[in-house]
Copies of this chain bind each other. A is one copy, B any other.
């Protein structure tokens, strides 16, 4: 019988340097926060490179990266750990946050605003000078390993009315602003990730910028660099550009017929000339 503890554990240490083009002093500030034991919040829209940045920093700092996608039903126990019943009684199994605290890993909570208050509150004693993680269930109080780093991401333009971080939580993080890269840099990323030539990459990026201007006309969220890359990969693999853009760029953005029509017109303009 396979007991879970005998299974190999991966801490997500990337094998080669993740591709990342810096936009400002975010690398330097992150390194100083790591040195100063300050937790970091990455603010910015979906798909603008926050996850890639944290992968890059983990590689750069030589630390394992443990990523946790936050959601409404993530409990404190999912983060911290729980007792499992085995054939000799109960056995404690660390959660991903506890593993990160013990190993001195980067622990990245993606979309932290989605988590419940009890999950977020568990982070508090890790973000001040104490750097402690109390394991209430065992009575232990863990001190974080020296190179442990807490990172969270947060999309400020999205669902702000329904959910938001408490101010007393926000003030526990140094915040770095992220946005879509400038056109030249975004085209370089699209080309690097998909294999399309520079002309198609620039056409896609130009189209993406036009679509992002539709936000004031009802688009719930603007297209990410991720969508441009998906379209480019279909084009590179032989799909006709307008067809690829309809499936990979426009259809994921909306179900509204008027908006879809306007976006289709922009696709036609971008590739039919």
Complex Cα distance, B10 from A83, in Å, reads 20
Complex Cα distance, B170 from A47, in Å, reads 12
Q: Which residues from B are CB-within-8-Å of A71?
A: 117-118, 120-121
How many copies are assembled? 6
Q: Which residues from B are CB-within-8-Å of A84?
A: 83, 90
Closest to A226 in B: B171
Q: Are B171 and A224 in contact (CB under 8 A)?
A: yes
Complex Cα distance, B170 from A152, in Å, reads 21
Known interface pairs A86-B89, A125-B67, A252-B171. Does A35 touch B158 (Cβ–Cβ under 8 Å)? no
Complex Cα distance, B131 from A238, in Å, reads 23
The contact string, 1 if C-beta is below 8 Å from chain B, for chain A 14-43, is: 000000000001001100110110100101
User: Is A214 among interface residues, defined by CB-CB distance under 8 A?
Assistant: no
Residue total for A at the interface (Cβ-Cβ under 8 A):
108
Give which listed residue, B2, B72, B141, B239, contacts A117 with CB less than 8 A.
B72
Give me the interface of A with B, judged by CB distance under 8 Å: 1-4, 7-10, 12, 25, 28-29, 32-33, 35-36, 38, 41, 43, 46-47, 51, 67-76, 78, 83-96, 99, 110-111, 114, 116-118, 120-122, 124-125, 128-129, 132, 134, 136-141, 155-160, 166-168, 170-177, 193, 220-221, 223-224, 226-227, 230, 233-234, 237-240, 243-244, 247-248, 251-253, 255
